[in-house]
């Protein structure tokens, strides 16, 4: 399959929310959605960065400045407040924002930061926005994972608070595994309910974003940050190329329910193609358990 942004269909009249759209993959996703006619809402936690990104997106797309939504995925009260500010039907939600390999931190609600932000925050945000999505004729939720999910051998409720110890890359892998388990379970539940909601996933391969260095910098490990920065510059594809799988998953009319999209070449770089999640990510029983744990943790549910 050869696919580029030139293949994105006309999105005029469609309304999208992109989390983490102030930089990197989220910014590039929002930019192409705008360029192809969609109305885009930039959802991020730093108001100054959001305002700056909105101005830059408007200039780069030659469109009106997108709406900004203050959203801190590491705080469930912020998630609920942000969702409550939206009242019009939504056609597309791109769950893109995330943190990577951070030192041990807790969310505002006491969860381990990576699982709490990458999975629980997006689980709750999707749940709060579900009524608006279901008012659309063809609603779609794209959940952005990572090839690092394949390093995770499973996930348990104890991982929500890192009760059995903390290793930053292990926690990141589990949070990305949770993204895929959630995406596939959302697809199963939507179809079981007879809903027209399309739940799909994507991952960027090895892309040049700030995520690789933010974690080490937070932990004061500057040498690791420099090494990762150099490796990313040498081996990673651009953020624009890394956003291609998300854009394909978000816009291509023929994407099937539960599809997972990644880069063509070794799932690291290149044009988007349909790829396979790990075996454990496709475990429906684990997905059901994760769903129940997530409902208990966030106090919200979907379907």
Catalytic residues: 145, 172, 176
Query: Residue 229: enclosing H or E segment and its boundaries?
Result: helix 222-235
Q: What angle do CA 18, 28, 52 make, to 5 degrees?
A: 75
The 3-state secondary structure of 26-56, one letter per residue: HHHHHHHHHHCCCEEEEEECCHHHHHHHHHH
Q: What angle do CA 164, 169, 174 make, to 5 degrees?
A: 65
Q: What angle do CA 198, 203, 205 make, to 5 degrees?
A: 160
Q: Give residue for tokens 């709060």.
A: 128
């Amino acid at each position: 399959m050869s696919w580029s942004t030139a293949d994105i269909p006309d999105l005029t009249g469609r309304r999208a929310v992109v989390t983490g759209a102030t930089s990197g993959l989220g910014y590039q996703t929002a930019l192409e959605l705008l360029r192809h006619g969609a109305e885009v809402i930039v959802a991020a936690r730093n108001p100054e960065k959001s305002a700056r990104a909105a101005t830059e997106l408007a200039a780069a797309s030659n469109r009106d400045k997108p709406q900004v939504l203050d959203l801190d995925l590491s705080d469930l009260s912020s998630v609920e407040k942000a969702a409550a500010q939206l009242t019009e039907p939504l056609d597309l939600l791109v769950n893109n924002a995330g943190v990577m390999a951070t030192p041990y931190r807790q969310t505002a609600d006491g969860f381990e930061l990576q699982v709490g932000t990458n999975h629980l925050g997006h689980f709750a945000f999707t749940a709060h926005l579900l009524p608006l999505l279901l008012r659309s004729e063809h609603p779609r939720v794209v959940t952005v994972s990572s090839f690092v999910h394949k390093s995770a051998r499973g996930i348990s409720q104890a991982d929500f608070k890192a009760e059995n110890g903390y290793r930053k890359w292990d926690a990141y892998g589990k949070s990305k595994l949770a993204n895929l388990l959630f995406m596939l379970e959302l697809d199963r539940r939507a179809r079981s309910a007879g809903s027209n909601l399309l739940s799909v996933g994507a991952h960027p391969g090895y892309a040049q974003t700030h995520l690789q260095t933010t974690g080490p910098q937070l932990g004061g490990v500057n040498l690791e940050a420099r090494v990762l920065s150099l490796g990313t510059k040498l081996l990673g594809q651009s953020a624009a190329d890394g956003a291609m799988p998300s854009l394909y998953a978000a816009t291509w009319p023929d994407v099937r329910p539960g599809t997972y999209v990644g880069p063509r070449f070794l799932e690291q770089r290149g044009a988007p193609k349909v790829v396979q999640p790990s075996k454990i990510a496709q475990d429906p029983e684990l997905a059901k358990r994760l769903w129940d744990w997530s409902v208990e943790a966030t106090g919200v549910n979907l379907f």
